Amino acid sequence: MLNVPSQSFPAPRSQQRAASGGRTKVPLKQGRSLMDWIQLTKSGKDLTGLKGRLFEITEEELKKHNKKDDCWICIRGFVYNVSPYMEYHPGGEDELMRAAGSDGTDLFDQVHRWVSYESMLKECLVGKMAVKPTMPKGMLPKRQVTDTLAKEGPISPSYDWFQTDSVVTIVIYTKQKGMNLDSVIIDYQDDSFRAETKIKDHSYLIHMELFREIEEDFSVRVVANVGKIEIDLKKKEHTSWKHLGRALENHNSLTPRKDTGLYYRKCQLISKQDVTHDTKLFCLMLPPSSYLHVPIGQHVYLKLTIAGTEIVKPYTPVSHSLLSELTEPVLPNNKYIYFLIKIYPAGLFTPELDHLQIGDFVSVSSPEGNFKISQFQELEDLFLLAAGTGFTPMVKILNYALTNIPSLRKVKLMFFNKTEDDIIWRSQLENLAFKDKRYNVEFVLSAPTSEWSGKQGHISPALLSEFLKRSLDKSKVLICICGPTPFTEQGIRLLHDLNFSKDEIHSFTA
């Protein structure tokens, strides 16, 4: 529902994409950019019409404010007057009006729950919703919650702990087979220990202030056949702990992932290097006391504070080079995260990111996305369609496919760009084709020079029908597509016209 009104992502013709739900953008009027909105919120103008007073809002009162010039929306119990924001919203006024006079939390979460609405709309805050004395709609008695979860979600997990003189071991019993190191995210900062375990579409959280201090480095083990996770914490003082610690917010809770907020940790900028004339490779280092591995096909959110407002953008991590994972296995506890990011000079977020100095910090969220490794099972033909920085999710997919899928016969990448200078990692892509005969790459340019002898144009039936040829008549196929929204939407339509099924197509959209 609400969206960051940014000129920079996706900027006109932007190609940076992440694996999340798509949406429609509308042209904004001159003077209605994100920076214009920030300046308006800093101007001292009364944006609520209530002269700074905060009220307790009933459902009946909320329903009255359902017009464009008088539009109140509730998000997670807080009510905002979004009428002043209407012209600044890239999704358009109609999208905001879908939640007018009502609780828009679910709608907000469906589209972009990662947006820092508290920061964006803090000057539009009207008040809090009045708490009803009755049981909230949809809430079930405790016994019924357990029964429902057993039918619809994962089995409720549990945890235990034991210690030696030097080590405390936390054991999480997920009761789910097939757990792996990607399933666990650990952060220890400001005396808060946080271990989040992804179990199907739920998140199990251990959140405590530990009894004593621990060292920053810790180890994680997974016993996949029984779904047991063991976390070893090194004690700073070799003394016996009387208990594990004090429970913090949402400790020992199992929550649907769509209902969990994003958690950020501050990562340090280690390096940035030019890849093309407008694209750079950024390397961020996780804190020593964080354990996080971004699964293939998933993305994270980067957060910066610009002019006093938190701005958040999604990006898909890549490898530090295309060939690296073919020669050296990636360590699950790798402390470095790499991003290929196109810099938009007229934008807001990417120039700010580019201006960071080595040693500066960027907040990085936990991973999100709906791509599943299970889509690779018994896969024979993998086709990748990418435009511009829509290439980013393909990097790890390509590396994983060539090293971990024994049934794979063919991998083909069709890479769309405007000019030769725009092609990311061209030499690496070509070298990979020499090293592995299962792989082939084709470059397609929309504005080539007269010297270009390769394919040119835009995504089309002719290009795809020639490119998407199975190795066998009934071979198992997966087609991944990522690029600007018009490219992706057109590509999906063409793929359906070519009789590829929904299960054979995975799209990464903004």
Dump the DSSP string for 346-390.
Answer: T-SHHHHHHTPPTT-EEEEEPPB----GGGGTT--EEEEEEEGGG
Largest pairwise CA distance in the chain: 76
Phi, psi (deg, nearest 5) at residue 330: -80, 130
Higher pLDDT, 509 or 462: 462
pLDDT at 148 over 80: no
Helix (H) or strand (E) holding 265: strand 264-274
The first and second tokens of residue 73, run together, are 């929306």
Mean pLDDT for 349-353 is 95
pTM, rounded to two decimals: 0.79
Tell me, what's the pLDDT at 3? 36
Q: Compute the mean pLDDT over every residue in the chain, rounded to the nearest whole number.
A: 86
CB atoms within 10 A of CB 174: 25
What's the pLDDT band for 334 if we cut at 50, 70, 90?
confident
C-alpha 119: how far from its chain's center? 19
Q: Side by side, which strands form the sheet with 505-508? A: 455-456, 439-445, 410-417, 381-387, 477-482, 505-508
pLDDT at 406 over 90: yes
Helix (H) or strand (E) holding 400: helix 392-404
The first and second tokens of residue 359, run together, are 């040693």
Least confident range from 22-31, 167-176, 194-203, 458-467: namely 22-31
Per-residue pLDDT tens digits for 409-466: 999 999 999 999 999 999 999 999 999 999 999 999 999 999 999 999 999 999 999 9
pLDDT at 23 over 70: no
User: Can the peptide bond before residue 5 be classed as cis, meaning omega within 30 degrees of 0?
Assistant: no
Rounded Cα distance between 352 and 345, Å, is 10
> 267-290: buried (b, 16+ CB within 10 Å) or exposed (e) per residue?
bebeebeebbeebbbbbbbbbebb
The residue written with tokens 């990418």 in the block is 386
Any idea what the Cα angle at residue 81 is, between residues 78 and 87, rounded to 5°? 130
Phi, psi (deg, nearest 5) at residue 266: -85, 125
Rounded Cα distance between 263 and 260, Å, is 9
pLDDT at 1 over 90: no
Q: Side by side, which strands form the sheet with 300-306? A: 309-315, 300-306, 361-365, 264-274, 279-285, 336-342
pLDDT at 160 over 60: yes
pLDDT at 108 over 90: no
Per-residue pLDDT tens digits for 467-482: 999 999 899 999 999 9
